[in-house]
């Protein structure tokens, strides 16, 4: 491996020089989105630095969202962080398409129909015992998992819906086309939570890593509840922006 020269004299720390070198490779296109970064051992050998120095350089790039670690696989150049505006009601699918993402897809984890118990029946404005559909899926951009989403909705809105009907599509869009009704508004709550073990596995992160938990209830025109969705987002791939005025 060709050894790279860095300035070993103060005041610029060695880890920072390595970090800037890697950033420069990303800017120039030498390292592209999805490319695998050399291991800490190779960085140590290449720059003649300690393991701690190499790790800190990579840690800072991960914290900035420029690199992403995938358990058991390695460290890769990350896609740009998805910056979501909270000023209008859109789906994840719609926003990613607007941002130019073309590799949005899903993996269905579970798909089942059961009878609504009292709490859910009340929230969805249906009768106790009415059939509801519960869908859990992982959302990806390319091969990178960015969110795990659970959707609960009355089966009357999607009679006959099958897993193959969804793919990477928005369920909201399917319902709007099927019912010829427009999604009108939603109430949404955002919390910071620690990733349970099974969510960490699906999202390819360490257990107890921080996640955004977004709980949304959407309503159709006329005020009819359409669904309840709970989505866990990786904060290293997703951010929220709110415009405030006075």
| DSSP assignments along 143-181, one per residue | TEEEEEEEEEEEGGGSTT--GGGTTTS-HHHHHHHHHT-
Take residue 189 and report the two structure tokens written for it: 């709550």
What's the rounded mean pLDDT across residues 48-52?
91
Say if residues 59 and 18 touch (Cβ distance below 8 Å).
no
Say whether pLDDT at 1 is over 50: no
C-alpha span between 134 and 112 (Å, rounded): 6
Say whether pLDDT at 241 is over 80: no
Percent of the chain with pLDDT over 70: 89
Does the predicted TM-score (pTM) go above 0.85?
Answer: no
- pLDDT tens per residue across span 147-179: 999 999 999 998 888 888 876 667 888 888 877
- CATH number for region 14-77: 1.10.10.10
Give the Å distances, CA to CA, from 154 to 22, 29, 68, 142, 185: 50, 48, 37, 30, 17
Domain ranges for the chain: 14-77, 82-241
| Beta sheet of 104-115, edge-to-edge order | 104-115, 131-141, 144-154, 225-233, 210-220, 183-194
- pLDDT tens per residue across span 59-112: 989 887 788 888 778 898 887 766 666 667 777 777 777 766 667 788 999 999
| pLDDT at site 238 | 75
Q: Which pairing describes strands 210-220 and 104-115: parallel, antiparallel, or unpaired?
A: unpaired
Domain 82-241: give its CATH superfamily.
Chorismate lyase-like (3.40.1410.10)
């Amino acid at each position: 491996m060709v050894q790279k020269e860095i300035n070993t004299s103060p005041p610029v720390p060695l880890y920072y020089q390595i970090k800037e070198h890697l950033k420069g490779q990303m800017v120039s296109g030498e390292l592209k989105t999805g490319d695998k970064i050399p291991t800490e051992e190779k960085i140590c050998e290449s720059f003649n630095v300690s393991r701690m120095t190499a790790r800190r350089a990579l840690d800072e790039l991960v914290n900035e969202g420029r690199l992403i670690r995938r358990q058991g696989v390695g460290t890769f150049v990350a896609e740009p962080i998805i910056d979501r505006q909270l000023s209008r009601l859109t789906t994840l699918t719609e926003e990613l398409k607007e941002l130019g993402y073309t590799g949005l897809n899903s993996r269905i984890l579970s798909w089942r129909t059961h009878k609504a118990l009292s709490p859910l029946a009340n929230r969805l404005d249906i009768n106790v015992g009415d059939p509801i559909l519960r869908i859990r899926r992982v959302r990806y951009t390319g091969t990178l998992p960015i969110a795990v989403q659970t959707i609960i909705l009355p089966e009357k809105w999607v009679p006959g819906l099958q897993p193959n009907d969804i793919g990477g599509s928005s369920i909201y869009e399917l319902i709007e086309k099927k019912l010829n009704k427009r999604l009108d508004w939603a109430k949404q709550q955002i919390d910071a939570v620690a990733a349970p073990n099974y969510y960490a596995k699906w999202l390819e992160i360490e257990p107890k890593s921080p996640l955004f938990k977004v709980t949304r209830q959407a309503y159709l025109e006329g005020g009819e509840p359409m669904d309840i969705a709970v989505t866990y987002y990786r904060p290293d791939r997703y951010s929220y922006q709110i415009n405030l005025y006075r």
